Structure 1
Amino acid sequence: MHGAGDVRFFDRFAPLYDLVMPPAERDALAAGLAQADGEIERVVDIGGGSGRATLALPVSDPLVFDRSAGMLGRASNRGLDCVQGDARSLPFADESLDAVTVVDAFHHMPNQRTVTDEVVRVLRPGGVFVIQEFDPGTVRGRGLELAEKLVGFGSAFSAPGELTRFLEQAGLDAEVVEGGFEYTVVGKKRESH
């Protein structure tokens, strides 16, 4: 799931993507998913692209969701279930998912508030939204932010505290589960009353 301008780049870049991207932080993803109340069965990896990070999820049957057909072709070749679409309008029923992940892609998403509202809608109470992102406050993060601007991406990076507050404002109980250049934040959907 990338911005409208970014998706064309990812379609073309798909064959090389896994060669240049670092592996996903499996332990941090597991720590985020562990914050959920109850078992995790239905997980959707939004912006899952080639499935690189989806394969690192400690769950049995995750679904890759992305706008880029090229990237989803790579994920499908890895044997992953895929759905092409826009995260601003998720094709899942209300409260039907246990967890949603976004790994290294949230900064590419246009209208992050709408995406987050959709995630909150599809998460069951006690379900979690786990985001791994790059901290623009680190030296490497500033370099990445500059590189993406030079490529022409419309990226919108957030520091860990900013993203935590953003998720809290969207109605989730949020916390940072791992800091650093690539950090992980989890937001848990509050129980319905």
Structure 2
Amino acid sequence: MPKTEPFENFRERYEEWFERHRYAYLSELEAVKMLLPREGIGAEIGVGTGRFAAPLGVKLGVEPSRSMADLARLRGVEVIEGTAEDLPFEDESLDYLLMVTTICFVDDPEKALKEAYRVLKPGGAIVIGFVDRESPIGREYERNKERSVFYREAKFFSTAEVVELLKKAGFREFEFVQTLFHPLEEVKEIEPVKKGYGEGSFVVIKAVK
């Protein structure tokens, strides 16, 4: 069962995070933008309220939470209700896929990435943004997850674990960028985006089919 209940019931609280941590959100956007393909037909898996798809120009999204999908549609995203493990797309039909802070919520990450591989054209790319479990913010999230309505059931991953899942699904040609080099409450401006991983708490991986 997709973990939709907290997103159905606490959509406003979800939205408030982006307002409260505006510069962290804008830093994450910049990091994703750096690796996201500029051309082709793509979709965001776990599009949520469209906070990433809309400003990044991704016109299509998949989302299991009806409440979140409604808000994404208001932001101009065409949303299909569905899950990462059962994508509503034909084989080899998309040029790229985006997943931002979604991998920790899917029921079966291995199946989700195999599905992503199925629907991408040869040479197509997947871009995954997430909080690295082994980073300062990741360790804080892990420590306090029982207190969070959103993260209580989440499974956080290290960068190495996400790479391993991608390799198992058949992906190759990895690129990495990172941002958020301070605790969330200390992020008062847009943080730099650096290549690689291991320093910043938010990591973006691009991999090719």
TM-score range, shorter chain: 0.7 to 0.9
TM-score (norm 1): 0.85
Structure 2 residue matching 1:177: 3-state secondary structure: strand
CA distance in structure 1 between the aligned counterparts of 2:164 and 2:55, rounded to whole angstroms: 27
Q: Aligned runs of 1:1-193 on 2, under 5 Å?
A: 4=2, 6-21=3-18, 22-23=24-25, 25-34=28-37, 40-57=39-56, 59=57, 61-151=58-148, 153-173=152-172, 174-178=174-178, 179=197, 180-189=200-209
Identity of aligned residues (%): 28
Q: CA deviation at 1:142?
A: 1.0
User: Do the aligned residues in 1 keep the contact of 2:125 with 2:207 (CA within 8 Å)?
Assistant: yes
Instruction: Tell me which moved more, 93-102 or 71-80.
Output: 71-80
User: Do the aligned residues in 2 keep the contact of 1:164 with 1:175 (CA within 8 Å)?
Assistant: no
Runs of 4+ in 1 over 6 A off after TM superposition: none
- 5+ long unaligned stretches in structure 1: none
Instruction: Tell me which moved more, 99-108 or 171-180.
Output: 171-180
Q: CA deviation at 1:100?
A: 0.6
User: Do the aligned residues in 2 keep the contact of 1:145 with 1:155 (CA within 8 Å)?
Assistant: no
The RMSD of aligned alpha carbons is 1.8
Rate the CA distance shift 1:52–1:30 in 2: closer, same or farther, 3 A.
same
Q: CA deviation at 1:48?
A: 0.9
Instruction: Tell me which moved more, 8-17 or 152-161.
Output: 152-161
TM-score (norm 2): 0.79
Structure 1 residue matching 2:83: 3-state secondary structure: coil
